[in-house]
Amino acid sequence: MYTGFQHLHSYLAYLLLGVLLFSILYSIFKFVTKQSFTEGVRKVALGGFIASHLQLLIGLVLFVLSPLGLSAYSGDVMSDSVARLYALEHPLTMIIAIVLISVGYIKAKKPGDDARRFKTVILYYTLGLILILIRIPWQAWP
């Protein structure tokens, strides 16, 4: 079961990165061409929101099941860089990234100036994507 969740979490990360990148680029294109923030734009942003939360849910299950996650917490974790990455840095950074994506989506949903709504999606989703990219364990990623 652990291996299945590990593979699911790894391969869904590709989907998440693709959806976030598409959401950001789509919002930039619509903003630059001065189009309105339509229901279609909101749904594209919703795709990034849903993909990030799905990845978080699977990651939390994996965190509980993994021998490198919750069960690895001890005083020795902080001295081992790989153990610290899996037990603390990766989960904490991903949660912060998904909070940023969530805030961006929720703020952009509110009625108001279209330019402000686009800028909100672009800013928060880009910050979330950057945090995700810097804390992916690239050496173990398939």
Work out the number of other CB atoms within 10 angstroms of the CB of residue 85: 18
CA distance 90 to 88: 6
CA distance 125 to 4: 28
What per-residue confidence (pLDDT) applies to 77?
76
Give ∠ CA 88-91-92 in degrees, rounded to 5: 75
User: Which residue ranges make up each domain of the chain?
Assistant: 2-140
Taking only the tens of pLDDT, the chain with its 142 residues reads 888 888 899 899 999 999 999 999 999 999 999 999 999 999 999 999 999 999 999 999 998 888 777 766 667 778 878 888 888 889 999 999 999 999 999 999 999 899 999 999 999 999 999 999 999 887 776 6
Work out the number of other CB atoms within 10 angstroms of the CB of residue 15: 13
- Torsion sign (Cα): 9, 12, 17, 20: negative
Which residues, at least 6 apart from 4, have a Cβ–Cβ distance to it below 8 Å?
A: none
pTM value is 0.90
